[in-house]
Amino acid sequence: MRPLIEFSREARAKIRYVLTDIDDTLTNDGQLPAAAYMAMEKLHTAGIKVIPITGRPAGWCDHIARMWPVDGLVGENGAFYFRYDAESRKMVRRYFKNETERIEDRKKLKALECKILEEIPGCAVAADQAYREADLAIDFCEDVPALPMTEVRHIAEMFSEVGAEAKISSIHVNGWFGGYDKLSMTRTFLKEVYGEDLDAIREQVVFCGDSPNDCPMFSFFPHGVGVANVKDLEQEMDALPSWITPERGGYGFAQLAEALLDAR
């Protein structure tokens, strides 16, 4: 990972899309600082598309798509994308799986939830689980005392043992049934909304993140940017960003936004 200052002006000037994780990438200690929100607004106003790519639930994503200065977002680690069409005043919701499939998946995840809570003392179902449509989120440090990484990995392994996908974020282990992730739904979003071939525009996209569930994005995009706290989970990641910001969380994201705007 190289310092953000080494990200060339020529490359920064070509960026048309900013994709970003939310937790600990836009936030600091669970709060969205004004600097991060203003950075999104400045990028949006400048004509750069801002698209959060998050593990957060459908309920949150509906709010974000409506009220944040964003052009849509991917939620629950790729289970769907939401985009608010201001002209028609309509929310566009595109899911990887249909409603019947999601209901069946939730039944299987509920059984697994009971097993995980019994076997891993100290973890909990994430507080935002009630607003999820496709995955199960197990909290290991957001609203519970932080568990050791050995236990966090054990949770992920329990998902894998029953054929579910599992990703570790900075706060949760998210598990789901289905062959999708953040990158696959990002590809679908850009093709269906903007008619873009993601392979053809990789050099025009920045992805900003901080944790293991961002690895599919970091491995694909040459202009992956980690906020400074990406170093906290570096040992758990199989792909790292090209660049790293000086500051952590939302303040690091604001530094990235300023670098992109300065190049314009």
Assign domain 2-96+180-262 one CATH number from 3.30.1490.20, 3.40.50.1000, 2.70.210.12, 3.40.50.2300. Answer: 3.40.50.1000
Q: 44, exposed or middle or buried, with CB in 10 Å at 0-12, 13-18, 19+? A: middle
What are the residue boundaries of the structural domains of the chain, listed by start?
2-96+180-262, 99-176
**pLDDT for 194:** 97
99-176 CATH pick, 3.30.460.80, 3.30.450.40, 1.10.10.10, 3.90.1070.10? 3.90.1070.10
| Per-residue confidence in pLDDT tens, the chain, 264 aa | 999 999 999 999 999 999 999 999 999 999 999 999 999 999 999 999 999 999 999 999 999 999 999 999 999 999 999 999 999 999 999 999 999 999 999 999 999 999 999 999 999 999 999 999 999 999 999 999 999 999 999 999 999 999 999 999 999 999 999 999 999 999 999 999 999 999 999 999 999 999 998 999 999 999 999 999 999 999 999 999 999 999 999 999 999 999 999 998
Locus of tokens 């900003």: 208
Q: Where are the alpha helices (DSSP H) in the chain?
A: 9-13, 34-45, 58-67, 99-119, 149-161, 182-194, 215-220, 249-262
C-alpha to C-alpha distance for 10 and 129, rounded to whole angstroms: 43
On whether the pTM is more than 0.85, the answer is: yes
Element (H, E) at 92: strand 90-95
Cα separation, 135 vs 126, whole angstroms: 11
Rounded-to-integer distance, Cα 8 and Cα 2, Å? 11
Residue 196 has a pLDDT of 98
